[in-house]
Amino acid sequence: SRAASRARCSASTRSSPSPSPATTSPAPCSRGSSPPSIRAISLADNELSGYIPPAVASCSSLLSLNLSSNRLAGPIPDGIWSLPSLRSLDLSGNSLSGSVPGGFPRSSSLRALDLSRNLFAGGIPADVGEAALLKSLDLGRNFFTGGLPDSLRRLTALRFLGAGSNALAGEVPAWIGEMWSLERLDLSGNRFAGVIPDDIAKCKNLLEADLSRNALTGELPWWVFGLPLQRVSVAGNKLEGWVKVPGDAALALHVLDLSSNAFSGGIPPQITAFAGLQFLNLSSNSISGQLPAGIGGMRLLEVLDVSANTLTGSVPPEIGGAVALRVLRMGDNSLTGRIPAQIGSCSSLVALDLSHNDITGPIPSTLGNLTSLQAVDLSQNKLNGTLPVELSNLPSLHIFDVSHNLLSGNLPNSRFFDNIPDYFLSDNSGLCSSRKNNSCGAVMPKPIVLNPNSSSNPLSQSTPSSPSSKHHKKIILSVSTLIAIAGGAAIAIGVITVTVLNRRVRSAASHPKPAIALSDDYLSQSPENDASSGKLVMFGKGSPEFSTGGHALLNKDCELGRGGFGAVYKTVLRDGQPVAIKKLTVSSLVKSKDDFERQVKVLSKMRHHNIVTLRGFYWTSSLQLLIYDYLPGGNLHKHLHECTEENTLSWMERFDIIIGVARGLMHLHQHGVVHYNLKSSNVLLDSNGEPRVGDYGLASLLPMLDRYVLSSKIQSALGYMAPEFACKTVKITEKCDVYGFGVLALEILTGRRPVEYLEDDVVVLCDLVRSALEEGRLEDCMDPRLCGEFAMEEAIPIIKLGLVCTSQVPSNRPDMGEVLSILEVVRSPQDSPGDEMV
């Protein structure tokens, strides 16, 4: 199962037995005592765990049961399909596993069944079609294999069939056309092959059809334009031939995604007659000819993507008529001519990509009218002239890439252009860059990289790689570079301070200290009764005693790991719950007792599905312990860098982890907590493989220190540290976490460490990936253990997002709310056709 795959790298000492059904969940309807008035139960969107109790099958009067979005595990109880009155069952968004039992009776009252987003495997029950009254059936995002069972053809009342993101195979059955009432069909992300059957045209009420990311062949079926369809996606297949739009086509389409196929010929001009079209994606095909001028008449069009084709001609001036356009992508074609000034009329434009063409002339000053613009890529063209001063009017700009052109002159005067990264401007010999001309203002230094093999742990800066080079680049730290950096006054002060602190720690270690073993009695003493005793505080429920006895609390055999702030040990509470105890090794730097306690209580309120819960703390003047939930799945670092190829994380698992970490960080930031120390070893996996962010906010427990001292305490976060750690005048904010998240996302996708030390070189992951992006070889960066199970159209936006997050200027990085929105668009682009940024 997916959860088992994620946990294979965990040490055996970290595993915990599965909870038994009898001890984890109460029986809601025990036989003979079921209240006849209970007709609906909804416990959705909580943190329920354990199994679904078998006794639920005795709730004979139950009409509706909703247990969605919890942490339930195990199988579906036998007999649940036989509940005579059950009409709606929603178990989605849990970790239920095993095969879905059969036994659907013909007398079933079920109208809606949602089993999506679980860990179910095996085949879809062969008799599911016996529940003839079903109107909605969602089996998506599981691990179902085999084909669609023939019994489904009897569901003539079914309006929604969802089976996307599974491992179903075979041909798309023609009998789908017998499901007369079907309105929404989702078979995306499977292994279906063969041609798309014409019989689907018999579904006269079909509004949405998603057959994307399969291995379908043949031509685009005629019914795509012959039914009153509103949303159609066949992206990521092997379809070919011309895209033919009949003259009598139904004009109801809102979303049309034909990307990543082998379609050829020109864009049919009839497509501009779809006045209601909001999303049109024809990218990554072999489409030729010119973009129809009538595209400007599509007043509702929000996303137009024709990139990675063989289009010729110029960008039509009529494009200015598409006033609702938010995303325009025409990169990687053979376009010529100039960028029309009329593009400045697209007042809603957020993202513009005209890169990798042969466009000439200047950049029109009308781009300065597009105040919503966030991302612009005009690289790899033949643009000349200067950058218009009107570009300084763009307040939301995050990306402005004009590299590899013929531009010259000064940059516009704005905060963004004063700090623009070099790689956005490279290979424009006459263009003034702040990195090349002292008159252009200062920029942020490169990320801090600490060499663990050096006895002095010098702070060093990596030099930017040349974007125009076509060879594999490595960041080499020479002796002269280290000397120059070490000679800086600020660096020297930091090193001296670190040295003094280290001597203090060694001096303290040389004196006899009381044993760290603690007795249960000592832990449970009250500070009011004994001023010299420690104070143990547990938040919420939980016994303040430890079943192993104090002698085992900090036992070396129970150590789980060590970090910049201390070592972590595993122990067990009296109630049988395992916990992780972090012993802070910065006692001499900790705030006063009152300040420490106040800050710990703030951190204890950070309760979220993707954050490790702080259960309590223990305080004495010489010993501070933090008590956390224990996560049996181990840390992400082990899964990325210490697992075998057979046990590596899958693409879906990695994507889920990236989104989960983003959600956890956004929650911290919403409550004013900066993590400071985000890295893969501080991302833990629970028993279901869900990510949880740990070690958050620990720097807030320390007094205000010199920036370099703080850096030394978290020097294990190699490559994750934002460049502002090296600048005393720049405030440390949530944008430091955004930088670390960007590095972490790249680490998850590539499987490479943020910093890799070779014999004479240091390779920085961000620079390596950035160079690969500029050279068009991102595929080479992806973790080879994924073995092609991912789609590059999903990976590329995440990589670009990671690079934007690692911008050297904090204000150029998005906040975590924006990051999460982008990730959710990448995960489900059909749900938010106009919200893409990168």
Q: Output the six-digit token pair for 358.
A: 């042969």
Give DSSP secondary structure letters for 752-771. Answer: --SEEE-SS-EEEHHHHHHH
Those residues whose C-beta lies under 8 Å from the C-beta of residue 511, and which sit 6 or more positions away, are none
Give DSSP secondary structure letters for 32-67. Answer: T---TT--EEE--SS--EEEPPGGGGG-TT--EEE-
Give DSSP secondary structure letters for 325-353. Answer: --EEE--SS---SB--GGGGG-TT--EEE
How many CA within 13 A on the CB side of residue 727?
A: 19
Q: Distance (Å, rounded) from C-alpha 691 to C-alpha 640?
A: 13
Q: Distance (Å, rounded) from C-alpha 576 to C-alpha 16?
A: 11
CB 700 within 8 A of CB 674: yes
User: Maximum distance among all alpha carbons in the chain?
Assistant: 91
- Would you say 535 is a known binding-site residue? no
Q: How do strand 683-685 and strand 691-693 relate by DSSP bridges? A: antiparallel
Q: What are the start-end ranges of the H helices in 461-606?
A: 479-486, 489-510, 520-524, 593-604
How many CA within 13 A on the CB side of residue 536?
A: 17
The DSSP symbol for 430 reads E
Question: 366 φ, ψ to 5°?
Answer: -70, -15
Q: Distance (Å, rounded) from C-alpha 92 to C-alpha 831?
A: 18
Those residues whose C-beta lies under 8 Å from the C-beta of residue 704, and which sit 6 or more positions away, are none
Q: Output the six-digit token pair for 786.
A: 């994924």
Cα separation of the two ends of the chain: 33
Cα-based torsion angle of the residue sequence 331, 334, 338, 341 in order, rounded to the nearest 10 degrees:
-40
Q: Distance (Å, rounded) from C-alpha 833 to C-alpha 838?
A: 13
CB 97 within 8 A of CB 71: no
Q: Which residues are annotated as a binding site for ATP?
A: 583
Q: Which residue positions form the known binding site?
A: 583
